[in-house]
Amino acid sequence: MGHILPLVPTAQAALAAGHQVLFVTTGPHADILRRRGVQTEDAAPHADVSARFHRLNQETNRPGITAEEVLSAATAAWAEIGDLMLGGLLRAIQRWRADVVVYEPYHVAGLAAARLTGVRAVLHGTGLPMGTFRRALEKMVRPREHYGAAEVSGTPDAVVNVCPSSMTSPDRNRGWPMRYVPADVGAVAPGWENTPPSMPRICVTFGSVLPGMAEHVVRATVEGLRELEAEILVSAGGAALDGWGPLPANVRMARWLPMVDVLPSCAAVIHHGGSGTMFGALAAGVPQVVLPLGADQPTNAEAVARRGVGLALDTAADGMQTVGEAVRQVLADPSYGRAARDVARENCARPAPSAVIRQIARLT
């Protein structure tokens, strides 16, 4: 979902401006888009893309894995997913007579389809600035074997950058700036999250994929917060809720929490370093404690620590017992909250999605 939700506000802004929008994706989350009024189509309805993502996470979320091993596994996965989606994307572009393809960095099939059909391509950031995942684009098979393309250019016609400038280095701060606007999974609020807390409120989330594969991480995090004088809200994601036994008195758990509503009331958020959670917390001005486990999560964690909006933990070296200590430090030191609120104001001052839609329209 971290690859879908950041594009939703842009799609909604395009619809509000009178443009036609078709969101082409695959996997189990298309209903999230449809509920937001975005026409959605599955580019690979017979493919089990979720299984491929799970395999990728199993390959990369393990102790001792090197950066090159992570990159190699991600390259193979995204190239495979790109090949699975390419035919459906091409058919959608041609049937719709699309003028522009907006794609996110990992979904390299979007750029390949745009180049094969001669349509303008816009790279839409979802977090820290990054270019098209060129290694995955180059590893795709279908553009060459099925469509005769000897090479697909990895350079888009424009780039949408949703990262506040202070979160990245000047040399990476390129493209059209746009405000990061959090979107949510459409979770039904349990009700208690809107009650004003009588003590600091801490949100714990490990995204939509990781909890189902590494439930022990969620459990260990909750256990590490048992003695903390705080209200702990846990968004369990894919983790099973049964079999946990009695929860600590300060813990409340739900399958999903509406993070857009929950985060503003929190004193801190603990998460795995996924871009969606990280940038949602930045937009809300909430300090973070990051427990990176793989993929781009260590890079995100480094950015959080460098900007001073939170702490990054090395759980492999220090163990999960450090989580409670890190949260106490973030709560006790007001500099983390000040830095987080500064970034939130910086984000809010960036152009809205509607302004970027006008720039995209001028490409056609």
Residue 185 lies in a domain: no
Q: Is 172 part of any domain?
A: yes
Among 70-74, 133-137, 267-271, 359-363, the minimum mean pLDDT is found in 70-74
Is 74 within a domain? yes
pLDDT higher for 73 or 340? Answer: 340
107 and 238 both lie in a single domain: no
* Dihedral, 26, 28, 31, 33 alpha carbons, nearest 10: -50
* Residue 185 banded pLDDT, cuts 50, 70, 90: low
- As for how many domains the chain has, the answer is 2
150 and 216 inside one domain: no
* Residue 229 near residue 298, CB atoms below 8 Å: no
Stretch 116-137: mean pLDDT: 93
Q: Mark whether 28 and 39 lie in a shared domain.
A: yes
Across 50-64, 288-302, 332-346, the highest mean pLDDT is recorded for 332-346
- Give the residue numbers spanning the domain of 16: 5-179+350-361
Q: What are φ and ψ of residue 25, in 5° steps?
A: -145, -165
Asked whether the beta carbons of 148 and 283 are under 8 A apart, the reply is no
- Measure the CA–CA gap between 113 and 102, rounded to whole angstroms: 11
Whether residues 165 and 231 share a domain: the answer is: no
Residue 212 has pLDDT above 50, yes or no: no
Q: Tell me the mean pLDDT in the region 47-72.
A: 77
* Same domain? 200 vs 89: no
Please check whether residues 264 and 357 belong to one and the same domain: no
Q: Residue 34: inside a domain, yes or no?
A: yes
- Residue 88: inside a domain, yes or no? yes
pLDDT digits (tens, 9 = 90+) for 234-275: 887 655 556 666 777 788 877 778 888 888 889 999 998 889
Identify the pLDDT of residue 213. 46
- Rounded to whole angstroms, the maximal C-alpha distance in the chain is 64
- Same domain? For 87 and 219 the reply is no
Helices then strands, counting H and E runs in the chain, come out as: 16, 12
Residues 150 and 16 reside in one and the same domain: yes
> Mean pLDDT across the chain, nearest whole number?
85
User: Is position 241 within any domain?
Assistant: yes
Is residue 87 over pLDDT 90? yes
Residue 184 lies in a domain: no
Whether residue 186 lies inside any domain: the answer is: no
Question: Do 354 and 343 belong together in one domain?
Answer: no
Q: Where residue 68 sits, what CATH number does that domain have?
A: 3.40.50.2000
| 14 shares a domain with 119 | yes
Q: Are 282 and 164 in contact (CB under 8 A)?
A: yes
pLDDT for 319: 55
pLDDT for the residue numbered 214: 53
Residue-level pLDDT at 211:
44
Percent of the chain, pLDDT > 90? 45
Same-domain pairing of 170 and 243: no
Phi, psi of 102, rounded to the nearest 5 degrees: -105, 125
What percent of the chain has a predicted confidence (pLDDT) above 70? Answer: 85
**pLDDT score of 336:** 97
pLDDT tens track for 152-163: 777 899 999 999
322 and 221 inside one domain: yes
